[in-house]
Structure formats: structure tokens, C-alpha cells
């Protein structure tokens, strides 16, 4: 009926990494990625797409070819791709060129930027989270996650 699929992976590691894709948005729906209901093998710790995306956006997780200490979950994070015009909108908004590294050095300044960002950006819709990485590839960017893609598009 087109509502489910079974995928067999070559290794346990690939299967563990694939589990991190649970809840990834795809063509307007959230994909469920999980083990079969009658699975009896070893259970490994894993996140879901929101966890992996948040770690990647904060710089805590890097791609293996991006230099730095990539964690095991990094292998499942795809390289950033150019936006496809027909792609459905997401709930995440990335703001660039809003901050400098100097804005992130002081804890007081960082908290002030975080509060100002929440106050200003919540005028456009319900914010679920605000992530402002202080280090890594995402440093100086602001990531806003809204409750709905409609709020993010405003």
C-alpha cells in the first residue's frame, strides 16, 4: 500500500546509523525508521533525526571529511545540499551573518543574544528551539526551529 518498506543493511553499524534517521522529514512526512517489532538482537543506543540535526547544527557533530573528531553518528548525516525549489518547507530556519565570534565569547553577551533572538523571532510563530553554536562549523549562525513549517516560512 506504499506506507512501509523493509530495508536490510550490510552491517550492524549501518543499521545502527540508519536508526538515527528516525523522524527525518521526507516529501512532507516524517519517516519512521526502526527495528522490526520482533527484533531480538542486541539493542544499541541511537538518537533520532532531531538529535542528530541539533548536534550537527551546534558543531558538536562533524562530517568525517570535514576534519575534526567525527562521532559514529556523523556517518549518517548527509552533506548539506542546495535547496530544491520543489522540496517541502521545513521547520528550521538558518540565519547567517547575524553574529561575530566576539558576540559569542562572553557568557553574558551570549545569553543576551539568545534572549533577544527568542523575543524577536517568536513574533513570527511558536519557537520550539533556538540553537546558536559557539564553536564548530555552525559558529556565528543562528538556527531557529519552529513548531510548524508555516511559522518558519513567515
Compute the average pLDDT of residues 75-89: 51
What does DSSP assign to residue 32? P
Q: How far is the CA of 86 from the CAs of 67, 82, 151, in angstroms?
A: 32, 12, 19
The pLDDT-based confidence of 86 (bands split at 50, 70, 90) is low
Tell me which of 56 and 86 has the higher pLDDT.
Answer: 56
What pLDDT is stored for residue 83 in this prediction? 45
Task: Name which of 77, 81, 56 is nearest 143 in CA terms.
Answer: 56
Say if residues 154 and 125 touch (Cβ distance below 8 Å): yes
Tell me which of 63 and 121 has the higher pLDDT.
Answer: 121
Tens digits of residue pLDDT in 4-32: 777 888 888 888 888 888 888 877 777 88
Mean pLDDT, the chain, rounded, equals: 78
Say if residues 138 and 91 touch (Cβ distance below 8 Å): no
Reduce the DSSP state of residue 107 to 3 states and report it: helix
Tens digits of residue pLDDT in 98-131: 888 888 888 998 999 999 999 989 988 999 999 9
Amino acid at each position: 500500500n506504499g506506507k512501509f518498506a523493509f530495508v536490510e543493511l550490510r552491517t550492524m553499524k549501518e543499521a545502527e546509523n540508519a536508526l538515527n534517521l528516525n523522524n527525518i522529514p521526507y516529501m512532507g512526512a516524517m519517516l519512521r525508521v526502526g527495528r522490526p517489532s520482533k527484533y531480538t538482537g542486541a539493542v544499541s543506543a541511537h538518537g533520532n533525526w532531531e538529535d542528530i540535526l541539533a548536534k550537527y547544527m551546534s558543531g558538536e557533530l562533524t562530517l568525517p571529511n570535514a576534519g575534526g573528531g567525527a562521532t559514529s553518528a556523523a556517518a549518517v548525516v548527509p552533506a548539506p545540499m542546495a535547496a530544491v525549489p520543489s522540496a517541502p518547507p521545513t521547520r528550521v530556519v538558518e540565519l547567517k551573518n547575524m553574529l561575530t565570534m566576539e558576540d559569542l565569547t562572553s557568557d553574558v553577551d551570549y545569553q543576551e543574544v539568545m534572549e533577544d533572538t527568542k523575543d524577536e523571532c517568536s513574533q513570527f510563530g511558536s519557537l520550539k528551539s533556538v540553537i546558536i553554536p559557539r564553536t564548530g562549523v555552525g559558529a556565528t549562525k543562528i538556527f531557529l526551529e519552529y513548531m510548524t513549517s508555516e511559522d518558519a516560512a513567515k
